[in-house]
Copies of this chain bind each other. A is one copy, B any other.
Amino acid sequence: MSQKEFVKPVGLETPYRLFNLGGTAFVESKQGDDLDIMPASWNCPLDYDKMTVVIDSTHYSRKLIEASEYILLAVPGMGIQKEILYLGSVSKNDNPNKIADSGLKFFTLPDCDFPLPEGCSAWAVIKLIREPHNEKTYDLFMGQIVKAWADSRVFSNNHWHLEEGPDELRSMHYVAGGHFYAIGKRVDVTL
């Protein structure tokens, strides 16, 4: 069964929650047929419907992002851990066949211009809010979430319930050198 069958739209009131666990994200960008994907640990909600992400000027993705002014952010899971590391280790500057070589698979949705990577728990289309000073000085990009989806086995009604889905969808939190931690157990705190 394809993951696509579990993917449901997420409302745009509080879509930051898709990224609030703080794991490594995929940044997908494209201009015409030219597609790139890179993992970015330095992604963060900026508001209920806005995100920041740091994208170094040396990355192939950077020119696609600045030209198209849209990115797809996604939250990759444990099940595609090798794909995450490969996509973060190889630049499309060096290997134009990077994405095929990574083994990452995709599905499509009728209302999304980006191919959506399989093995993620959440996806969001982000329209850049251009802030040239932040981009030039800090490699920091800001954007508005304009569409969002999640795998309904682990996220629905604006809440994560990772414990009800496959462990392959648990987010990956990067340290360095191929060393990650997966997100762990649910903790419900009451005062």
- Name A's B-contacting residues (CB within 8 A): 14, 17, 20-23, 41-47, 50, 52, 54, 78, 81-82, 84-86, 89, 131, 133-134, 138, 140, 142, 158-160, 162, 170, 172-191
Contact = CB atoms under 8 A, between A and B. Distances in A.
Nearest to A174: B20
Contact of A187 (B43, B78, B134, B189): B78
Given A44-B43, A85-B191, A21 B175 contact: yes
Nearest to A14: B176
Contacts of A131: 133-134
Contact of A52 (B52, B173, B181): B52
Q: So how many copies of this chain end up in the complex?
A: 2
A156 B179 CA distance: 14
A81 to B, nearest CB: 5
B46 A140 contact: yes
